[in-house]
Amino acid sequence: MSQRKIIHVDCDCFYAAIEMRDDPSLAGKPLAVGGSADRRGVIATCNYEARAYGVRSAMASAHALKLCPDLTILKPRFEVYRSVSREIQAIFRDYTELIEPLSLDEAYLDVSECSRFEGSATRIAQDIRRRVSQDLHITVSAGVAPNKFLAKIASDWRKPNGLFVITPAQVDDFVAALPVSKLHGVGKVTADKLARLGIRDCGDLRSWRKLDLVKTFGSFGERLWGLAHGIDNRPVNNDSRRQSVSVENTYDQDLPDLDACLAQLPALLETLEERIARLDRSYRPDKPFVKVKFHDFTQTTLEQAGAGRDLDSYRLLLSAAHARGNKAVRLLGVGVRLHDLRGRQEQLELFAP
């Protein structure tokens, strides 16, 4: 198999960058895009001036204003952001059709078969960054590597407005020195557990046998072993399909108890059914789930195979999820996992007479 060439492109504070582009008077000032503080809003993104004060995405807007009293918080303009995202992806398609969007502001590109710039992934990434800056007047950071795992790490290496390249010859040394906290799927809990075992970087992780990692971390242990050796065989998937459909609401006032949460279910389920009805026939609703975010921002999600999508079934799920925290609730969500029928239909057509 020939060596893959993967680019991960990540826009720099995308929503805020567009707002500063469209209103230059905002440049150089602490800026965030999100919900208003008096309606319990949350920060979607912010510029680097705001980050210097400790403001971060997913932070309550009220808390962000305490950290940075001069912070300007703008209401999101999602139609504008989606339009710019489409323009960026149009630039991507000049180099490859193998594009896997992760969100409006980031994507993987497989440029292994691209003949432009004599097949140099580094020069392709440089040209993409140049064109986005020149045509759309925002900046993007990019990472170039032989696989998705390393390309994503590389794109963050020299943010903002940076480019970092990990060549195949550099993979082994680069990964050996990489802190395990940088590995995909390693959160604070797993990082703390690894630290207690004396594992702080991938060099430490390599001293463990795969079997021992599986015994200690379950199926994730095998993934850890692969990442510690720079292995990631996931292809760039340009056939994105929905995994679920859901609806959630953040309440102006905390819901004080379970009864108050249950009272919100009918309205949430009505909106959910409307969204399910808009799906095409290649999807079949499967497992229902609920999401609960408590007043202290801890959250839990609970789903159940075989359960119905009726009000009583969601009541049982919500009651069980609420019991995990038994605290006042700021956000409720309901949804359903989706079963993709298209793959099955295509298989039937393959074997049809």
Statement to judge: residues 325 and 257 lie in one domain: yes
Question: What pTM does this model have?
Answer: 0.74
Query: Residue 317: phi, psi to the nearest 5?
Result: -65, -45
- Joined together, the tokens standing for residue 212 give 């021992």
pLDDT at 346: 41
Which tens digits make up the pLDDT trace of 61-82?
999 999 999 999 999 999 999 9
In a domain, 34, yes or no: yes
> Which CATH number goes with the domain that contains 217?
1.10.150.20
Beta bridge partners, 131, equal: none
State the Cα–Cα distance between residues 89 and 106, nearest whole angstrom.
Answer: 10
Which tens digits make up the pLDDT trace of 24-33?
999 999 999 9
Beta bridge partners, 7, equal: 109, 144
Name the E strands within 27-122: 31-34, 43-46, 72-74, 99-103, 106-110
State the Cα–Cα distance between residues 57 and 44, nearest whole angstrom.
Answer: 5
Report the number of distinct structural domains present in the chain.
Answer: 4
In a domain, 21, yes or no: yes
Last residue of a domain, one of 77, 96, 128: 77
Statement to judge: residues 10 and 158 lie in one domain: yes
* Residue labelled with tokens 């969500």: 333
* Confidence at 20, pLDDT banded by 50, 70, 90: very high
In a domain, 195, yes or no: yes
Which residues lie closer than 8 Å to 294 by C-beta, 6 or more apart? 325, 327, 328, 329, 330
> Which CATH number goes with the domain that contains 28?
3.40.1170.60
Instruction: For residue 106, indicate whether it is catalytic.
Output: yes
Long-range contacts for 47-53 (Cβ within 8 Å, ≥24 apart)?
47/13, 47/16, 47/17, 47/20, 48/13, 48/160, 50/16
Q: DSSP class of residue 331?
A: E
Statement to judge: residues 126 and 143 lie in one domain: yes
Which residues lie closer than 8 Å to 152 by C-beta, 6 or more apart? 8, 108, 143, 184
State the Cα–Cα distance between residues 150 and 237, nearest whole angstrom.
Answer: 16
Question: Is 105 assigned to a binding site?
Answer: yes
Angle at 232 between CA 230 and CA 237, to 5 degrees: 150
Residue numbers of the domain that contains 164: 6-14+79-171
Count of C-beta atoms within a 10 Å radius of residue 300 = 15
Residue 85 has pLDDT above 80, yes or no: yes
pLDDT at 141: 97
Residue from 106, 222, 274, 303 carrying the catalytic annotation: 106
